[in-house]
Amino acid sequence: MAARDAKMEESSVQKSVKGLEDLSKGVLVPELEALTFAGLQIVEARKGFLRCSFIVPNLVADKIGNWQVGAMATLIDVMGGATICSIDDHIPVTVDLSISFYSTVKIQEEVEIEARFVRSRGKLTSVVVEVRRKENGELIAVGKQWSTSINKSTQVSKL
């Protein structure tokens, strides 16, 4: 039983990592979304935990040369979802996302993004995603996300 659980855990983590890698290469999404994730490097991945390194690309700059907050929010949301996928094989749907921004990041700066499972309550799962400056560990943003998981075989309404 424990061997089967370990194998299932490894499979879920591998699927999360592959999904993030595919996003960073533009395999899963249209070109515009792929630009947001270009260059994302997975540093550590285990059940309920992901750490990535990311050099902010020029294409996600705002008017003054900082990482656009919308692009950062997209990355935070996807990292949270991938962390949930590492726990089980369900598709997460974000139902609440709160992000606090503490600092800006210049284009071509390297950041570290760490996402970790907090708790589950019924079908709801909570994760926290932190973005830190790689150079000195300064906190850039914290995202708190609640998601619900739907089984892949479940029909999703088009409404």
Residue 154 resides in a domain: no
Residue 124 confidence (pLDDT) above 80: yes
Q: How many domains does the chain have?
A: 1
Q: Which helix (H) or strand (E) holds 106?
A: none
Q: What pLDDT score does 100 carry?
A: 98
More confident residue, 13 or 6: 13
Q: In terms of DSSP bridges, do strands 91-101 and 49-55 run parallel, antiparallel, or are they unpaired?
A: unpaired
Task: Domain of residue 8: give its range.
Answer: 2-149
Residue 122 resides in a domain: yes
Any idea what the CATH number is for the domain that residue 115 is in?
3.10.129.10
Residue 156 resides in a domain: no
Residue 27 resides in a domain: yes
Q: What is the pLDDT of residues 20-33, one digit of tens each?
A: 777 666 665 556 56
Q: How many other C-beta atoms are found inside a 10 Å radius of the C-beta of residue 130?
A: 18
CB 117 within 8 A of CB 50: no
Helix (H, G, I), strand (E, B) or coil at 148: strand
Distance of CA 120 to the CA centre of its chain: 17
Q: What is the mean pLDDT of residues 94-105?
A: 94
Looking at the chain, how many residues does it have? 159
| Average per-residue pLDDT for the chain | 83
